[in-house]
Every structure is written in C-alpha cells, then in structure tokens.
Amino acid sequence: MKKWAGVFDTDTDKLADEFNSSLSFDKRLAVYDITGSIAHAAMLGECGIITTSEADAIIGGLNKIKADVEAGCTIEGEEDIHMWVEERLTRDIGLAGKKLHTGRSRNDQVALDIRLYLRDTIDKINSQLSDLLKVICDIAEKHLDTIIPAYTHMQKAQPTTLAHHLLAYAEMFLRDIGRLKDCRKRINILPLGAGACCGTGFPINRERVAEILGFDGITQNSLDTVSDRDFVVEFVSVCSLIMMHLSRYNEEIIYWSTGEFGYITLDDRFSTGSSMMPQKKNPDMSELIRGKTGRVYGSVINLLTMLKGLPLAYNKDMQEDKEAIFDCADTVSRCLAIFTAMLPSLKYNKENLYKAAAEGYTNATDCADYLVKKGLPFREAHHAVGSLVKKAMKKKKPLDKLPLTDFKSASQLFEADILEVLKIENVIQARSLAGGCAKGVVKERIAEILNKLNLF
C-alpha cells in the first residue's frame, strides 16, 4: 500500500500507478529535493519538533543519498522523487526517516524543488548568454569597418557596418539576461511551510529555512504558494524570447549563406551535406535552432493551458509543468551552446557585403538630408531625390557616380560637395548620434556591453 493510502481498502490499479507516476522525469530534481529536505530537517531539529539526534541522523542519511545520486545511482520503484528519497532514507536510517515529512506536504515540497532547479538553470543560461555576448562583441570589434547594407522590408535601406548589425543582436541578448535576472527575483521566494494548502500547525521557522537555502524571503499565502506556477510561465516566456532572438539571428545566417546573397561562408565543422546532391553545404545548425524555437513556444502554451482553469489550490494537473520546464531549459541551453561555438567560425565576404551596400541607392536618404540642411522642406527634398534616383536607375549608375548637372537639374541647392557626402563611408560616419552606426559610437557601445557583463 502507498504511504498515503490510510483510508484505501485496495491498491491502485497498475495502469493507474503508471499513469500517475512522475519519477521517470522528476528524478532529475533529486539533488534539489534532498537539499530542501536537509534544510527542513535542520530547522525541525532547531525548533525542537524532532530531536537533535534525529535531525543529525536524517541529515547524515540525506547527504549519503545525495552522494549516491551524484554518482549516478539507479532511481526507480516509487511514484515520484519525493517518495523515493523518503523511502530510501527510511531504509537507510530507520524510524527517524519517517519524521522528515513532519510539517510539510509534497505540494510545498515540489514547489521548493522547482524553484531551486530554476535558480540554477537561470544562472546557467545567463552564463551562456554572457559567453555569447562576448563572442558577438569580439566579432564586432573585428568588423568595425566592414560595410554592409541594412534592410527594411527585406529591401536595401541604408548602409551600416557589420559591427553595428551584430550589436543589434547583442542588445537583444542583453535584455534577455536582464529578464532572467528579474524573473529570478520572483523565483527566489521560499514556498516551504505552505503545507498541502493551508500551512501547518507545527511551530516551524520558515525564515530559517529561507536563510539556509539562500532565499530572499517567504511566500505570504499558502493557497497561492502551492497552486500557482506563474514564475514557471515567466521563466519559459523569457526562454521563448531568447529563442526568438536566436531564431532571427539564424534566419539571417541561413539566407546570408545562400548563393543569392553570398555574404557568409559556413564552416565545414558546423555544416552538413546532402545524401544525394554532392555540391550541397547546408546550414543545419541554424535551421535546427530555428526549428527548436517552436518547442519552447509550445512549452509556454502548454503551461498556460494547464493552469488556466485550475481552482484553488493544488491540482494534479500541475504535475505536467515539469516536462515542459525541463524540455524548455534543455533546448535553450543546447541551442546557446552550439550557436556560441559556431558563430566565430563564420567567414564574412567583405567584398560582396560592400558591393551590396553600395547598390540599391542606400545613400538616397542622405541626399535628401543634404537638401534639408540647405533649407528645403523634407517632403520637397524627398521628391527631388526621388526624381534623381529614377534618373540614376535609367542610367544604371549609383547616385554618387552621376554628374553634378544631374543633381542641379533636381535642385539648384546641390553643390559639388554632394558627391563626397554620398560616399558610403561618409554616410555611415555621419550617423554619430547615440545608437548610430558611426565607428566611434559602435566601438564605445561594445565597451559598455562588455562592462555590463562584468557587472553581472
């Protein structure tokens, strides 16, 4: 009979046992379950709820189990990790092991395990994001002068530098670090002491357990504590943003590496071939990251749907949170690892990038701005330059290769210096405002980002 089967006349059906069991996946919480139990036992002993010798025996037994788990022992035979630890402890130390569960429920226990797991997971992912940002900044530093086209609507818009382009993604990942750190604050609140749903009648010291485990405080409503997983949804939602940013970055790598663009050459170490077409070199790492983004999005929907109709307080539906959490965390971590390794291997074809930036009349805006600085209203300048671009297209020439007479025919405000203004290098350097693409601005921002990472 189960440990909870006091009012039951018969065992549960074998099929029900298998359906109800979570040990196959929640066993990865074993170390966290033991860590929380050690803190709980220490507090019970300090409060005199169990004797000091009983507390010492429990803690000693739990540390032995923890060592075995870390050594890779087999975990099987119980319905969940909490029952497995308790059964193993009782088998090892005897009657004292049965006193460990005094003043707590599996409901607040699992909430604690998840919070402990997510704290470590967030720290790991943030460390990976920091590593990725350092790689991006290193590549950007090497390409401060590499000119590329910037796009809007997938049409060439204005010239910029590869460094400026890469830092756009750096800003995204920097915000992701901030989101995870903020999410961690809400996770780092101790749930233990909420019991099954209404706390416990034992005079436990929740603040002491929070202190032992490094939590910033304790939860303030036992019903809420055991019945909500909004902190889990928040974590997975932040992960979905990380994956969205990774997916966007890899989307560009995919089409930049095509023959049609020819901006990037993929390294053999991070590419695959075709079983049929000998010439193929496929960006499978980037495609897999793009594809795996959907898995993380799915975890968000999974959790939101699981929680949306639950009445207070705990419901077994909440067992479904763990596989979503684990799959999400594993997916994000693996994608960050492969992407950070792959990124430095990319070779940028500077000539193709420069040629692309010089084509498509990406300096047209600066041509209009030139007239505005001479006093012409922007809308009139826009129209004048539009007619000039049309003429350049007919002649199949870039703007800065047109004769001055063509500029004069569009507006008498044009002078000979317009040809110098329209050089791609000068267009970029003109954007020296904060956030712009001028070399000095970008270089300064690289230093600021690296400094922020050091502060983290």
Structure pTM? 0.94
| Cα separation, 188 vs 168, whole angstroms | 31
State the pLDDT at residue 274. Answer: 87
pLDDT band at 335 (very low <50, low <70, confident <90, very high): very high
State the pLDDT at residue 454. Answer: 86
State the pLDDT at residue 126. Answer: 98
- All domains of the chain, ordered by start, with CATH? 14-102 (1.10.275.10), 107-355 (1.20.200.10), 359-455 (1.10.40.30)
Report residue 177: phi and psi, to 5°: -60, -45
**Of 75-84, 224-233, 269-278, 328-337, which gets the smallest average pLDDT?**
269-278
Listing DSSP states for 256-316 in one string gives: HTSTTT--EE--GGG-B--SS-TT--B-HHHHHHHHHHHHHHHHHHHHHHHHTTPPSS--G
To which H or E segment does residue 159 belong?
strand 155-161
pLDDT band at 14 (very low <50, low <70, confident <90, very high): confident
What are the beta bridge partners of residue 189? 217
State the pLDDT at residue 17. Answer: 78
Provide mean pLDDT across the span 50-54: 98
At residue 257, does pLDDT exceed 70?
A: yes
Q: Compute the residue count for the chain.
A: 456
| Cα separation, 113 vs 8, whole angstroms | 28
Comparing 6 with 283, the larger pLDDT belongs to 283
- Only one residue has tokens 């994956």, namely 243
Cβ neighbours of residue 152 closer than 8 Å, sequence gap 6 or more: none
| Per-chain mean pLDDT for the chain | 95
**Of 59-63, 76-80, 156-160, 273-277, which gets the smallest average pLDDT?**
273-277
Catalytic residues: 153, 274
To the nearest 5 percent, what fractions of the chain are helix, strand and coil?
A: 65, 5, 30
* Amino acid, res. 89: L
| Cα separation, 56 vs 145, whole angstroms | 65
